[in-house]
Structure 1
């Protein structure tokens, strides 16, 4: 079987897709939300720190699982990256999804929709652990510029 969508030479076959378009998606994919938060971290720290999001696609049987990992990155410390959390979800449907806020965390935070996802991120970003990591990396990064 040959795969692909090469131009067809037989123009007598009509499209079987519905006439109407598929509309504008009403959901913001997690990767878009995470990339925006990565950018926002840079803005908040005057780019001394940056967020970095890495996406990995893991095919599994008939469906694919996507994993997005969020790092806090310190460019002035040789690009050091601190793992903050990762998100795991199916390509379809996106929700529910799981957030693992620790590399060794066995029990994920289960999120059923986009609103819950945003709320969970808000909690992770406002946690004492996250604030301590950011303060430590800022202090070390700023000491590098003073040298």
Structure 2
């Protein structure tokens, strides 16, 4: 007896993935810094089978120096997700995409993040 396909048809998730949002922001950083800095998103899995995204600012002129800004952890379903902000050793929960974007805005506009970017830009221009 031949088996048949038991899988139903699947809908594509319409909400943008956290990783896609981070990659978009990486592109904006490159544009803002005239490609002196870039950003990288590394994705893996933790011991609890959650998906983990690390967001790094990268300075190619400084031998690809990498500064991790934040880490995002979520299950197979995107939300809720946890954002761990390295600078202050704190984590936040975002219940949806809007909250996640607001958290990113807060982190990217924080004086500590701006200071790191300014320093990396300055050092990159000195090369």
Higher relative contact order (CA 8 A, sep 6+): 2
Shift of 1:34: 0.8
Q: Partner of 2:5 in structure 1?
A: 15
Q: Partner of 2:106 in structure 1?
A: 123
SS in structure 2 of the partner of residue 72 of structure 1? strand
SS in structure 2 of the partner of residue 26 of structure 1? coil
Q: Partner of 2:64 in structure 1?
A: 79
Distance 1:128 1:32 in 2: 25
SS in structure 2 of the partner of residue 27 of structure 1? coil
What are structure 1's unaligned runs of at least 5 residues?
Answer: 1-9
Distance 2:33 2:112 in 1: 17
Q: Partner of 2:23 in structure 1?
A: 35
Shift of 1:85: 0.8
- 1:56-75 correspondence runs (5 A): 56-58=44-46, 60=48, 64-75=49-60
Taking a change above 3 Å as real, the CA distance of residues 28 and 109 of structure 1, as seen in their structure-2 partners, is: same
**Deviation digits for residues 39-89 of structure 1, max 9, x if unmatched?**
2111111110001111112353xxx21111111110001111111111111
Which of 63, 75, 81 does residue 90 from structure 1 map onto? 75
Q: Extract structure 1 runs of 4+ deviating beyond 6 A.
A: none
What is the number of residues matched between the two proteins?
127
Larger Rg: 1
Question: TM-score, with normalisation over the residues of structure 2?
Answer: 0.91
